[in-house]
Amino acid sequence: MEKRQEIYRGKAKTVYATDDPDLLWLTFRNDATAFDGEKKAQLDRKGEVNNKINAFIMGKLEAAGIRTHLVRRLSDTESLVRKLTMIPVECVVRNVVAGSMSKRLGIPEGKALPTPVFEFFYKSDALHDPMINDAHIEVLGWATKDEIAEMKALTFRVNDVLTPLFADAGITLVDYKLEFGKYRGEMLLGDEFTPDGCRLWDSKTQEKMDKDRFRRDLGNVIEMYMEVARRIGVVL
């Protein structure tokens, strides 16, 4: 597989073309960002830890029958993925009140929800990822009614797989965001699943083990990411 020109540079990953038009070369960098890129830092080993956690989680989801864009991990910081036509929405599931849900509704963080709550957000840093609903997505042509239903169903299936996986490791899966895209007509999970895009709390102490450590200046960001990896069985 040959790595070619850079196609896209995101906040923490860089995407390159390959000699196969159906495949992309994904590099996880050490960049850490928050608040739509307003806060930035370089964290040693972040790219490696996230790449390995992502490959592990994607493998677990594939084993459960949830198709993803990951083909294989190439190195400590690089992975080979399928080229998707991405749908510009984020699918969020919340098992516990935290973050923006707490702020919007005035509910203290930490309240366990009797059933998971699903939310859609439009993926746009410039607009600060506004919340949207099914009608926005369908009317604006971002996805069909059937595709919306499929994204919801897949996002809840991910919850069914990962909630017990993390629970067995003494970690509460508080919430997470997913992004989907189409590959040869099939809906696949794209982007990544790492502590950058979910909230993970120690089940006993409620200590944060995710990107909130960076957002809120709690320190030991990568040390906690590495602890997440260790508990779920990722070899670093």
| Cα dihedral 226, 227, 229, 235 sign | positive
Tokens, residue 11: 């906040």
Kindly indicate the confidence band of residue 38, based on its pLDDT and cuts at 50, 70 and 90: confident
Looking at the chain, the domain(s) classified CATH 3.30.200.20 span 3-82
Taking only the tens place, the pLDDT of each residue in 135-163 is 999 999 999 999 999 999 999 999 999 99
Kindly indicate the confidence band of residue 1, based on its pLDDT and cuts at 50, 70 and 90: confident
pLDDT (0 to 100) of residue 179: 98
Mean pLDDT confidence for 197-220 = 98
For residue 164, which of 70, 92, 62, 95 has the smallest C-alpha distance?
95
Looking at the chain, the domain(s) classified CATH 3.30.470.20 span 88-221
Name residue, tokens 């307003």: 38
Fold of 88-221: D-amino Acid Aminotransferase; Chain A, domain 1 (3.30.470)
Share of the chain above pLDDT 90, in %: 97
Taking only the tens place, the pLDDT of each residue in 101-128 is 999 999 999 999 999 999 999 999 899 9
Tokens, residue 221: 């960001």
Architecture label for domain 3-82: 2-Layer Sandwich (3.30)
pLDDT at 43 over 80: yes
pTM for the whole structure = 0.97
Kindly indicate the confidence band of residue 36, based on its pLDDT and cuts at 50, 70 and 90: confident
**Distance from C-alpha of 12 to C-alpha of 6, rounded to nearest angstrom:** 14
Share of the chain above pLDDT 70, in %: 100
**Distance from C-alpha of 51 to C-alpha of 233, rounded to nearest angstrom:** 14
pLDDT (0 to 100) of residue 37: 77
Taking only the tens place, the pLDDT of each residue in 52-109 is 999 999 999 999 999 999 999 999 999 999 999 999 999 999 999 999 999 999 999 9
